[in-house]
Amino acid sequence: MNYKYLRLAGLSGQAIFCLCIFGAGLVTHIPFFYTFIGPAAILIFIALNPNYYFDFIAITTIILMVILSLIFSIAVAIFNQSYLIALGASSFPLGCLAAVLYSMEKLKNTDPSYT
């Protein structure tokens, strides 16, 4: 299995998630959602430049998205009773985080050009 592709998929998936939130902000005119263009740009830049130390920045960005998605999921579950939306909004960033962490560990051990 090529772990560079798994890393690219995890970072790209999280960037697309941020772009979807940004697009929802444009449609609904919620200014807070406009700020998600920044993490998307950071993640796209890091996804195209494989480096072990850049991935730490990506991990912290994804952890921030996980925290925000958990807050959103709790609010959606309490106020709207939309449990499937809450589950999807919280599980997608966790899956991307797991993919990036796993591929970082495997690339660090197998690919000398990655570190």
Which tens digits make up the pLDDT trace of 63-114? 999 998 889 888 888 888 888 888 888 899 999 999 999 999 999 999 888 8
Confidence of residue 3 (pLDDT cuts 50, 70, 90): very high
Indicate the number of domains in the chain.
1
Could you tell me if 15 and 44 are in contact, meaning their C-beta atoms sit under 8 angstroms apart?
yes
Per the domain annotation, does 115 fall within a domain? no
Residue 87 belongs to a domain: yes
Structural domain of 22? 3-110
